[in-house]
Structures are given as structure tokens and as C-alpha cells.
Amino acid sequence: MIEKAFYSPAGKALSAKAGLKEPPRLRRGRTWPQGALVLATLGGGTIAADALSLLGRATEAPVVDDQPDTPAGYGSRIGALVVDATELTTVAALEDLRAVLRPAVRAIEPSGRIVILARAEQDGWEAKAVTRALDGINRTVGKELRKGATATLVYVDADATAGDLVSTLGFVLQGRSAFVDGQAWRVSAAAQRPQAMEDRPLDGRVIVVTGAARGIGAAIARTLARDGAIIVAVDIPPAGESLAAVANEVGGTALQLDITAADAGATIAAHVAARGESIYGIVHNAGITRDKMLVNTDASRWGSVLDVNLAAQIRMNEVLLDPGTPGGIADGGRIVGIASTSGLAGNKGQTNYAASKAGVAGLVAAMAPDLASRSITANAVAPGFIETDMTARIPFVQREVFRRSNSLSQGGQPEDVAEAIGYLLDPRSQGVTGQVVRVCGQNLVGA
């Protein structure tokens, strides 16, 4: 596992010589915090308490920092603090948030969680300003936390219920969100509101993963298979041997295919229909880079990246979303694209890549309302620096800069991206659509 490079004798020696501290080990997988879960309700909201009850997570009362001359602290480590700020509407009330956050920051355990729930829409100038202020608080707290602890802000629509929050709270509190820090996204009301979280939420559902032969794509296939999915692993013919190995490992099927082919969508649908199935979800993971400064980027480099990373997705989606296509995406299905922090913030020498990945973010935002009547969601994840065989070839000093340029002081693992995708594919995530979840450890640029 590439993560071992951080903790190997050679890795430790090189980091020590460069004056770099060993990064924290992150809690991963379907694991809950070890310490107590503390719930703080500001202004009388109940949705957080109700959602945590559905998750079966007991809570303790918060410590309030009401003695400014005395260092605040819980006296023992806590695992997580969930703050229900959905009724917080005034600048003065932000003091209540400070009063519960300050002692929690001191007491949070390694890989602990701070989660703030807020209203997505508020009436009035002050309330709207406060809603935005919470984002600044969340991002800053994420940067001040230590030892792998993270902060998350979840905006909740007024008509959303506790059931709509189950999958989101479960994801952000568990180790599955290890490399998601300082981020905010929105949960809306869903037509169907499951009342519990499952360890195998994708049981028996067909999910197509493009670019599945190696790296992040292979990790996605493995993680989704763990959650019960039937995987259709797609990649180009030259990767056929690796693709077959991944498909065999997860008990799925392999489909050798160039996704830029005009009939790619029809080929995928026919492959699924031949097995008497329809597609529940598709993960558009396949992508390429052809990096050059813009002044040196010719039409071929420009066009190939945009075609693979963006245009091919659009063409396939149009075919697979056609209700008349046997083996296409069924109502209630899921579409997940792969954006990038390079697309959201820009990156020198990657104009073509940034355009394609920003385009993915725009695509899911555009698709979400159009697909709502069919209960199909469209979302994206935006990875930052992820440890793969490709990034392992970057020179050590440059690689360390990339690794350390986030709040968690390390690169993410391929499974971190996969876990976020699994969350978005979960049937219980029906209320999450048109969103981009950044899996970047709160990259210090553009995050």
C-alpha cells in the first residue's frame, strides 16, 4: 500500500532530514469515533438529534466555554461534536457556536469529527450573512484541528428530514470521510426517506466503473463491491489484463472499451442488458492528462483531454439515460463524475485538464434538476493529491510539497475517493444531488 511510504524507515529518514513531521494516521473505513459523540443544539433545532437517533448513536451534553479566563476542555477525549445550527440566524448567536466549538477543538480525539448543520436558505440579510459566516468558521476550524481530525459543514434544506441526513451524517462521522476536511455541501428533501444506514447499501445493484483497471478506478471497484455492488469494470483494450484481474477480484465483469467511441454508451447498455439487468449507477472515472503550458498546447492535446474527460461522459449519459435503452440507467439511479481541485482552482500547465474537470462539476449541477423527476442523482467528487503509482513517480521534494499542502499534511489514498463515491451512490443519499464533494484534505489552494 502506497501509504506505507510515509512510515517506512526510508520515508521517515527523508522527511526528518527535510524537517517534516510524520503525518497523522487517519481513521478509515466503516469505523466510528472511539470517544463520546457530543451534540450541541443552538436555537432549538431537532434534526441533528433525530438523525443521530436513527443512526443509533448515543450523545452527551456539550461543554460550553462560559469562563473566558479558564482554559476550556472536556477533561477526556471526545470522538465527535455535532452542532445543530439550523436555527442560528443572527451574528450575536455565533457566540453560542464559538462557546461549544472552542472546548471541542481542544478535546477532540485523533481522527475525530466536528460537524455543523445549517440551513441552506435563510430569509433576510443578516441570516444570509450568518449562513455564509458558518462556511468560514468550518474551513478555519478544519485547518486548526490536529492529528487527523476534520470539520464538515452540511447545509440542510428546510423541508429535509432526519431520514434525509442519515447517509450524510454516517459518512462524515465514519472513517470513510478520512480525507474530506473543511468542506460544505447540501442535502435536500428526497421523495423516499430511508430510516437506517446499512453496511451493504449497494447489495445486488449494477454499477459501471470506467477506468477501472488500476489506481483509483480499481479502488472504486473494490470499495463498491464491498458494499454489495455488481461491478461492470470498463477500460481500454491495452489494459485488458489488469482489467480482467480487477473484475475477477470483485466478482464482476470486464468490458474492454474506448469510451470516446461513438457507440460507447450503447455498448455498455448492451453488455448490461445481456445479463438481464439495468444500471443503477455509473462512475465516470476514466480520464487522461496531457499537461503543457497553454502557449505550448496544440489542438491535439487540447481536444483529447476534453473528449475523454468530459465530452465522452455527456455522450454516454445521453444514451444511458434514454428510457428506451435496454440496460440503461434505471429510475432512482446514480451518476457520479470525477472532477478535480485542479479544475476548481486551476493549475499551471493544466488548462485543458482544468477545463475538463471544471466542466464535470458544471455538468452534474446542470443534470441534477433535469433528472429529479426520475429520482436520479448526479454528483461529482473532486480529488486533490492522491497517492497512486503515477504520483509516486514525482520527484521526492515536489511530491512532499503536494502532500503537505493540505490541512491533514499528507496525500489521500485511492480508497478515500472510492468511499466518497460510495456515499453518493448510496440509495439513502437521494437528497444529495448536483453537489461536488472535495476529497482533498482541505487543499490549501482552491479548497
Catalytic residue ranges: 353
Residues with Cβ within 8 Å of 7's Cβ and at least 6 positions away in sequence, in order, are 22, 25
Using alpha carbons, select from 102, 95, 29 the residue that is nearest to residue 65: 102
- Cell 442488458 locates to 273
Using alpha carbons, select from 211, 327, 322, 312 the residue that is nearest to residue 262: 312
Per DSSP, the residues of 46-66 read -HHHHHHHHHT---BPPP---
Q: Where are the alpha helices (DSSP H) in 108-161?
A: 125-144
CA distance 187 to 54: 17
Please, what sign has the CA dihedral across residues 312, 376, 225, 215? positive
- Cell 486551476 locates to 346
Which grid cell is 177? 470521510
- Cell 465483469 locates to 253
CA distance 253 to 244: 8
Using alpha carbons, select from 170, 375, 394 the residue that is nearest to residue 291: 394
| Cβ proximity of 408 and 425 under 8 Å | no
- Cell 524507515 locates to 9
Q: Where are the alpha helices (DSSP H) in 157-298?
A: 162-173, 215-226, 240-250, 264-273
| Cβ proximity of 377 and 329 under 8 Å | no
Query: Exposed, middle or buried: residue 204 (CB in 10 Å: 0-12, 13-18, 19+)?
Result: exposed
Number of residues assigned to the chain: 447
Phi-psi region of 29 (alpha: psi -120 to 50; beta: other; left: phi over 0): left
| Cβ proximity of 206 and 232 under 8 Å | yes
Please, what sign has the CA dihedral across residues 258, 419, 306, 264? positive
Residues with Cβ within 8 Å of 214's Cβ and at least 6 positions away in sequence, in order, are 239, 242, 246, 389
